[in-house]
């Protein structure tokens, strides 16, 4: 039985668009913003409808960290930055986590998305709720949903892996 909208009892559905099945290759010794090799999925923009929600859940492990450097995690939908941790000085074995809900507010070449969620880089105490007001993003072609990392300085002892990356699409069936 499909899920139902609690307010008008219309059927809704959730579809898994992507789930990483392995830990990413380590991103290390680099000061270039890098997409984790298991943390990117293409979504067919023309299939999205107003009110659809893309849910993204990702976790990152900071394996090794030079104590004076900073790391920055970012979540994108194509060219639009949805969330950034900001430059954080982390420690060995710290974590990164983001749980975002990206809502489609207009479709086509003049598409718009908005987002909200929570992101963490470092310790649980660094959890930061976020929101992005409606921003322009063309939904006329394929969109890439991806998670990136950047270190402030190239150093051999900066190493991070993406442990999991999941993207779900929530939609109302009758639209």
What single string gives the DSSP state of each residue in 73-128?
EEEEETTEEEEE--SB---TT-EEEEEEEEEEEE-STT-EEEEEEEEEEESGGG-E
What is the predicted pLDDT for the residue at 75?
Answer: 97
Going 88 to 93 to 94 to 95, the CA torsion angle's sign is: positive
What is the predicted pLDDT for the residue at 155?
Answer: 87
Quick one: how far is CA 81 from the chain centroid?
9
Is the pLDDT confidence value at 9 over 80?
A: no
What is the predicted pLDDT for the residue at 30?
Answer: 87
The fraction of the chain above a pLDDT of 70, given in percent, is: 91
pLDDT, mean of residues 37-61:
96
Class of the CATH domain delimited by 16-172: mainly beta
What is the predicted pLDDT for the residue at 104?
Answer: 97
- Band (12; pLDDT cuts 50, 70, 90): confident
Is the pLDDT confidence value at 123 over 80?
A: no
pLDDT, mean of residues 69-84:
94
What is the predicted pLDDT for the residue at 1?
Answer: 40
What is the predicted pLDDT for the residue at 136?
Answer: 94
Is the pLDDT confidence value at 111 over 90?
A: yes
pLDDT, mean of residues 165-172:
94
Over the chain, what is the mean pLDDT?
Answer: 90
For the stretch 23-46, pLDDT in tens is 999 999 889 999 999 999 999 999
Nearby residues of 48 by Cβ (< 8 Å), 6 or more positions away:
104, 107, 111, 139, 169
At residue 46, the 3 state secondary structure works out as helix
What is the predicted pLDDT for the residue at 164?
Answer: 97
pLDDT, mean of residues 141-168:
94
pLDDT, mean of residues 78-96:
93
* Domain extent listing, the chain: 16-172
């Amino acid at each position: 039985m499909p899920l139902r909208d609690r307010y008008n009892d219309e059927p809704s559905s959730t579809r898994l668009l992507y789930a990483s099945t392995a830990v990413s290759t380590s991103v290390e010794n680099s000061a270039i913003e890098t997409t984790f090799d298991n943390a990117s999925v293409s979504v067919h923009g023309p299939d999205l409808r107003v009110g659809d929600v893309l849910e993204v859940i990702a976790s990152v492990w900071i394996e090794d960290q030079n104590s004076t450097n900073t790391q920055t995690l970012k979540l994108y939908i194509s060219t639009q930055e949805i969330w950034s941790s900001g430059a954080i000085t982390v420690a060995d074995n710290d974590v990164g986590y983001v749980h975002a809900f990206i809502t489609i507010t207009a479709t086509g070449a003049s598409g718009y998305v908005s987002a909200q969620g929570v992101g963490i880089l470092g310790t649980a105490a660094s959890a930061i709720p976020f929101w992005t007001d409606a921003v322009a993003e063309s939904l006329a072609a394929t969109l890439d949903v991806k998670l990136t990392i950047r270190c402030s300085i190239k150093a051999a002892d900066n190493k991070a892996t993406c442990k999991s990356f999941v993207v779900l699409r929530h939609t109302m069936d009758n639209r």
